[in-house]
Chain A
Amino acid sequence: MSKLKLATVWLDGCSGCHMSFLDMDERLIELADIVDVVYSPIVDTKEFPDMVDIALVEGAVASVDDEKKIRKIRAHSKLLIAMGDCAVAGNVPSMRNPIGPQAILNRAYIENADVQPQIPCVVVPELLRIVRPIHEFVKVDVFLPGCPPSADTFHAALTALVTGEPLDIPALTRFGA
Chain B
Amino acid sequence: MSEPVGVKTLQINGEEVSARSGQTILEVAREHDIDIPTLCHLEGLSDVGACRLCLVEIKGSNKLLPACVTTVFEGMEVSTHTERLQKHRHMILELLFAERNHVCSVCVANGHCELQSLAQDQGLTHISLPYRNPELTVDASLERFTVDHNRCILCTRCVRVCAEIEGAHVWDVMGRGINSTVITDLNDPWGSSSCTRCGKCVQVCPTGALFDKSKVGSDHPKYPDFLPYLNLMREAR
Contact = CB atoms under 8 A, between A and B. Distances in A.
A92 B105 contact: yes
A133 interface: yes
A64 interface: no
B126 A145 contact: yes
Given A94-B133, A175-B116, A176-B116, A89 B126 contact: yes
- In the complex, which range does the number of interface residues on chain A fall in? 20 to 34
Contacts of A82: 126
Given A174-B116, A176-B116, A94 B131 contact: yes
Interface of A is mostly: mixed
A133 B126 contact: yes
Contact of B101 (A98, A143, A144): A98
For the complex of A and B, the 7 pairs showing the least CB-CB separation, nearest first, are A176-B104, A147-B105, A97-B133, A98-B135, A143-B125, A174-B120, A175-B104
- In the complex, which range does the number of interface residues on chain B fall in? 20 to 34
Contacts of A176: 103-105, 107, 110-111, 116, 218
Interface string B108-123: 0011000011011111
15 contacts: A89-B126, A89-B127, A90-B131, A91-B103, A92-B106, A94-B101, A95-B101, A97-B131, A135-B128, A143-B125, A174-B117, A175-B105, A176-B104, A176-B105, A176-B111
A150 B123 CA distance: 18
Interface string B76-116: 00000000000000000000010001111111001100001
Contacts of B103: 91-92, 94-95, 176
Contacts of B130: 132, 136
Contacts of A169: 123, 125
Contacts of A115: none
A140 interface: yes
A123 to B, nearest CB: 27
A85 B133 contact: no
Contacts of B110: 176
A97 B124 CA distance: 23
A99 interface: yes
A135 B126 contact: yes
